[in-house]
Chains A and B, each alone.
Chain A
Amino acid sequence: MEYHKPGSFEEATTIANNNNGIIRFLAGGTDVLVQLRSDILTPDVLIDIKHIEGVKDISYDDDGWHIGIAVSGAEMSEHEQLAKEWPGVVEAMDLIGSTQVQGRATLVGNLCNGSPAADGVPSLISARAQVTVTGPNGTRMVNVEDIPIGPGKTSLSKGELVSALHLPKRTKNQADAYLRFIPRTEMDIAVVGCAVNLEIENDLIINARVSLGAVAPTALLLETAAKKIIGSKLDDRALNQLSQEASKACKPIDDKRGTIRFRTHVAGVLAKRTAKIAYDRARAER
């Protein structure tokens, strides 16, 4: 396995583009090393992106938040302002693995690993996050939901890598939340993950984005479900409709972590619980 430590994105894409075989980028390593040790995948070329300028930065400007691709979950949780404005995104990231995993794992790594159950993805989708993709042909902006295309697969082509993550600016009366169902209290892969991002005005929901993870080959954006709570004060009727639509939108499988029936039911339960949390957060004083 070749190991490279490029000093720039240009160098990184060049190495990736000029090599054949299995090429992987290394950020936190909490997926790559597991796959290596479990004999699932041994990269021929491993490109460590942690030595490129800016990859460890979290910054904020008029366009919103910019999170470097080597920022760890622990660093995100420790960023007070980010945690305040995007509690759902931060808590989703925080749920991944143990304290030790949090010390290394990255949100972009979680996205690009392409697991249908990735905790980071639903909240990024509901947040309207975008990524900068850098490749041999330059850079482009991509909506986060267009990155994963199937279990373990992304839409990135040869030589491309995500070079930055962007979250929109936040205003008052906006809040997000993420909940997942796991059988223990920690350390499990999500059986169902749900993210809700709300904007309210005088207690009325005027904007909503709902996303489910672990119930389809890629995380889902639930447009019908979101519509059911827009214009409401999240009363029981709206919640029940949200719940039903969430269950309807699932396309889960039976596997060692849950059955179709279970995931479908729990998706509905989580949609309600997550929406309530986001709603309460949005209403609270900012």
Chain B
Amino acid sequence: MNKIHVNTEVNGDDVEFLCDTRETLLDALRDRLNLTGAKEGCGTGDCGACSITLDDRLVCSCLVLGVEAEGKSIGTVEGIANGEDLHPLQQKFIEYAALQCGICTPGILVATEALLKKNPDPTETEVRYWLAGNLCRCTGYDKIIRAVMDTARDLREAS
């Protein structure tokens, strides 16, 4: 079996792993690096549960091969909090009950953190369209959108 050796950076840490060419980055993160925060909901880029950032770009890790991570910088849900200090988004999600089963939550947090970095003052419509690729079956999205909008407001007021 010929696996490929990949050197990459995840949440600021240099890591390496061996993977088959057919393994996705999602497979590698979960099965090789024990970072199980990203989830496989569909494997085909339709649900966003596997969302990560790749060189600061929001992507589905199921649509990236493990070997494509070479030399890149990856951000996962495990890297959003600062040690014990939760990101305001994470805080707000808990407070607003913006999660029920929680399977979509890692993907949505990665996606919304990326949104607020790019656009600190999104409208409700902009938030909804940004998150169109993150499926949630439990909440109907209402409390999620409210949590994101209010966090954006809090962050703007704080700065």
> Do A's and B's CB atoms come within 8 Å in the complex?
yes
Residues of A within 8 A of B (CB): 1-3, 26, 28-30, 33-34, 36-38, 42, 46, 48, 50, 72, 74, 97-101, 103-104, 185-187
Contact among B24, B46, B51, B134 with A33 in the assembled complex (CB-CB below 8 Å):
B24
Query: 8 Å CB contacts to A: which residues of B51-73?
Result: 51, 54, 57-60, 62-65, 67-68
A-B contact pairs, 17 of them (CB 8 A): A3-B21, A26-B65, A33-B44, A33-B65, A37-B43, A98-B60, A99-B115, A99-B130, A99-B131, A100-B45, A100-B48, A100-B58, A101-B63, A103-B54, A103-B59, A104-B64, A187-B132
Q: Is B98's beta carbon under 8 Å from chain A?
A: no
Extra contacts, 9 of them, besides A34-B44, A37-B43, A186-B129 (Cβ < 8 A), are A3-B65, A29-B68, A46-B21, A99-B131, A100-B48, A100-B51, A100-B60, A100-B111, A104-B63
Return the chain B residue nearest A36 by Cβ.
B22
Q: Classify chain B: how many residues form its interface, as a range.
A: 20 to 34
Whether B132 lies near A185 (C-beta < 8 A) is yes
Return the chain A residue nearest B43 by Cβ.
A37
- B-chain residues with CB within 8 Å of residue A50 when the two chains form the complex: 68
Q: Is B133's beta carbon under 8 Å from chain A?
A: yes
Whether A29 lies near B22 (C-beta < 8 A) is no
Contact among B4, B58, B65 with A103 in the assembled complex (CB-CB below 8 Å):
B58
Expressed in whole angstroms, the Cα–Cα distance for A29 and B25 within the complex equals 12
Expressed in whole angstroms, the Cα–Cα distance for A215 and B9 within the complex equals 45
Expressed in whole angstroms, the Cα–Cα distance for A34 and B45 within the complex equals 7
Expressed in whole angstroms, the Cα–Cα distance for A97 and B62 within the complex equals 14
- B-chain residues with CB within 8 Å of residue A38 when the two chains form the complex: 43-44
In the complex, the 9 A-B pairs of residues with the closest C-beta atoms, listed nearest first: A98-B133, A186-B132, A103-B59, A3-B21, A103-B57, A100-B60, A37-B43, A34-B44, A1-B21
Distance from A152 Cβ to chain B, minimum over Cβ atoms (Å)? 17
Residues of B within 8 A of A (CB): 4, 21-22, 24, 43-46, 48, 51, 54, 57-60, 62-65, 67-68, 111, 114-115, 129-134
Whether B45 lies near A30 (C-beta < 8 A) is yes
Q: In the complex, how many residue pairs between chain A and chain B have their CB atoms under 8 Å apart?
A: 86
Expressed in whole angstroms, the Cα–Cα distance for A34 and B130 within the complex equals 21
Distance from B47 Cβ to chain A, minimum over Cβ atoms (Å)? 9
- B-chain residues with CB within 8 Å of residue A48 when the two chains form the complex: 68
Distance from A78 Cβ to chain B, minimum over Cβ atoms (Å)? 9
Expressed in whole angstroms, the Cα–Cα distance for A186 and B128 within the complex equals 10
- A-chain residues with CB within 8 Å of residue B65 when the two chains form the complex: 3, 26, 29, 33
- B-chain residues with CB within 8 Å of residue A99 when the two chains form the complex: 58, 111, 114-115, 130-133
Residue of A2, A26, A34, A186 with highest tally of chain B CB at under 10 A: A34
Whether A29 lies near B63 (C-beta < 8 A) is yes
- B-chain residues with CB within 8 Å of residue A29 when the two chains form the complex: 63-65, 68
Whether A74 lies near B44 (C-beta < 8 A) is no
- B-chain residues with CB within 8 Å of residue A185 when the two chains form the complex: 129, 132
Return the chain A residue nearest B115 by Cβ.
A99
- A-chain residues with CB within 8 Å of residue B63 when the two chains form the complex: 28-30, 33-34, 100-101, 104
Expressed in whole angstroms, the Cα–Cα distance for A29 and B111 within the complex equals 20
Contact among A30, A34, A72, A98 with B57 in the assembled complex (CB-CB below 8 Å):
A72
Whether A101 lies near B45 (C-beta < 8 A) is yes
Contact among B46, B59, B67 with A187 in the assembled complex (CB-CB below 8 Å):
B46
- A-chain residues with CB within 8 Å of residue B44 when the two chains form the complex: 33-34, 37-38
Return the chain A residue nearest B56 by Cβ.
A103
Expressed in whole angstroms, the Cα–Cα distance for A187 and B4 within the complex equals 33
Expressed in whole angstroms, the Cα–Cα distance for A103 and B110 within the complex equals 14
- B-chain residues with CB within 8 Å of residue A42 when the two chains form the complex: 22
Expressed in whole angstroms, the Cα–Cα distance for A42 and B22 within the complex equals 9
Residue of B64, B111, B134 with highest tally of chain A CB at under 10 A: B64
Return the chain A residue nearest B107 by Cβ.
A100
Expressed in whole angstroms, the Cα–Cα distance for A101 and B64 within the complex equals 10
Expressed in whole angstroms, the Cα–Cα distance for A33 and B58 within the complex equals 17
